[in-house]
Amino acid sequence: MKLVYPIILTPYEDHSGGYVVTAPDMPGLATGGDSLAEALDMAKDAASGWVLTELEEGRHEPHATNIADVKPEEPGGIVTLISLDMDAYAEKYGKKSVRKNVTIPAWLDTFGEQQGINYSQVLREGLEHRYNELQNA
């Protein structure tokens, strides 16, 4: 899932070339960097983490405000967009697991038990395979 959000880059008060970054659609998100490039990298990482937490808690990703409606509060502030690749970020940093109960025929359960099959692993591998097929379609 690819997402795009506006962010606000506010120059450091000491005029050292760094920026504080906030995201209007992500309450409480604040990060920064000692250069524009570093601030943008930190913004992508912090915003991806913020959205991943929402998704892992069962909530939806926030709606993105139209960039034309975002105004910096401080002079010299910059409004721009960042693009988040949530699939790649979740694959790398996602930690939360969800328990699911499944129903299978008794004969298949007997087979699985005899073979020492880890049902969770088989289900996960199958779902990941299906997910990758759909992403590459």
Strand order in the sheet with 78-85: 30-33, 19-22, 2-11, 78-85
- pTM for the model stands at 0.69
For 2-93, give the CATH class.
alpha beta
CB 6 within 8 A of CB 25: yes
Per-residue tens of pLDDT for the chain, all 137 residues:
899 999 999 999 887 889 999 999 999 999 999 999 999 999 999 999 999 999 888 898 999 999 999 999 988 899 999 999 988 888 888 776 667 788 889 999 899 999 999 988 898 889 888 987 887 87
Q: Would you call 128 helix, strand, or coil by DSSP?
A: helix
Domains of the chain, by residue range, sit at 2-93, 106-135
